[in-house]
């Protein structure tokens, strides 16, 4: 249930609100009574530019700002463009939080990434382990840029009393995801590869790594619910994981998606490609204890919905 009248008469800005997670956050806000929602578009506000940040805050005058905008992608994109992933995410986030504090924004919700966790984090990942080592190298520039928002949120809360919270969503998937094979994450990439291979009658599908790493996935609508619940109920200075608390190996994931799309060929694992972090599984207790969030979508059901969406929106999903 929504907090009673929490969102009524509140001005809310959602950066990245036209994107994958952001669009679902906007829908959740509307369903919970928010009527004054501002979604800045990049063509109007390039958040890497400080003057655009200042103009955004002057135009929107938010009571609550949810920062969901990010330059993000899979391992390949992170390896090809580490400088962009570092600079753009840092410069979107740090000046935005600073100016939000100066402008008197009542609450700032910063979305981080589990790419910030150290390479060899004991599983399940607990928030207190966030600083116990360097992140997995292919995602480190991105992960560290986003992690600075946690440092900033805690510092601004301590010095200025600024109400900034920091959430760590796990790998997301669902309708409206990015299916561009150059930049996509693993689930949309596998869905597209297997559907196309089935149509062509391919005997094999090439896949990165050896299939051994594990990943945890959170359905995008569940993630949006977690973000909105945190915005309503969480006032703490500690980071909070948002996840499902369940892991699956990439090999098992590939077999599951192949079965769901009806691909019956072989997998050709390319072990010259990186695996990424060996395991990812979050401890999700803090979110449950602090703002009552638990993921509600069974994994196979979420995958079916994602595949269905891709089949219905394929032209726009692949950009052609």
- Whether 27 and 224 have beta carbons less than 8 Å apart is answered as yes
* Torsion 100-101-104-107 (CA) sign: positive
* CA atoms of 298 and 124, how far apart (whole Å): 19
Q: Which string of DSSP letters, residue by residue, matches 211-265?
A: S--EEEEEEHHHHHHHHHHHHHH---SS-EEE--S-EEEHHHHHHHHHHHHT--S
Determine if the peptide bond prior to 239 is cis (ω within 30°).
no
Q: Is 164 helix (H, G, I), strand (E, B) or coil?
A: strand
- Indicate which residue of 45, 117, 142, 156 is catalytic: 142
In the block, tokens 């390896």 appear at 79
- Whether 39 and 12 have beta carbons less than 8 Å apart is answered as no
Active site residue 310: no
Active site residues: 142
């Amino acid at each position: 249930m929504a907090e009673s009248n929490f969102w009524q008469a509140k001005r809310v800005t959602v950066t990245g609100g036209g994107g994958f997670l952001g669009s679902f956050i906007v829908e959740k806000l509307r369903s919970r009574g928010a009527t004054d929602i501002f979604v800045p578009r990049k063509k109007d506000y390039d958040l890497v530019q400080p003057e655009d940040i200042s103009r955004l805050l002057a135009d929107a005058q938010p009571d609550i700002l949810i920062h969901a905008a990010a330059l993000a992608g899979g391992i390949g994109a992170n390896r090809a463009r580490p400088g962009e992933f570092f600079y753009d995410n840092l410069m979107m986030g740090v000046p935005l939080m600073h100016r939000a504090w100066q402008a008197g924004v009542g609450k700032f919700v910063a979305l981080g990434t589990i790419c910030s966790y150290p390479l060899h984090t004991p599983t399940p990942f607990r928030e207190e382990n966030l600083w116990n080592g360097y992140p997995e190298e292919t995602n480190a520039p991105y992960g560290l840029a986003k992690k600075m928002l946690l440092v900033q949120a805690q510092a601004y809360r301590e010095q200025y009393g600024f109400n900034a919270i920091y959430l760590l969503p796990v790998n997301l998937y669902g309708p409206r995801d990015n299916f561009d094979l150059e930049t996509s994450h693993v689930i949309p990439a596998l869905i597209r590869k297997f559907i196309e291979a089935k149509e062509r009658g391919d005997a094999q599908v090439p896949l990165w790594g050896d299939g051994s790493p594990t990943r945890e996935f959170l359905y995008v609508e569940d993630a949006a619910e977690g973000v909105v619940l945190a915005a309503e109920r969480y006032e703490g200075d500690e980071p909070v994981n948002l996840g499902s608390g369940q892991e699956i190996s990439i090999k098992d994931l590939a077999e599951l998606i192949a079965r769901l799309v009806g691909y019956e060929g072989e997998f050709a694992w390319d072990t010259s490609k990186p695996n990424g972090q060996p395991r990812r599984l979050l401890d999700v207790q803090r979110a449950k204890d602090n703002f009552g969030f638990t993921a509600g979508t069974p994994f196979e059901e979420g995958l079916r919905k994602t595949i269905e969406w891709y089949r219905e929106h394929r032209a726009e999903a692949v950009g052609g």
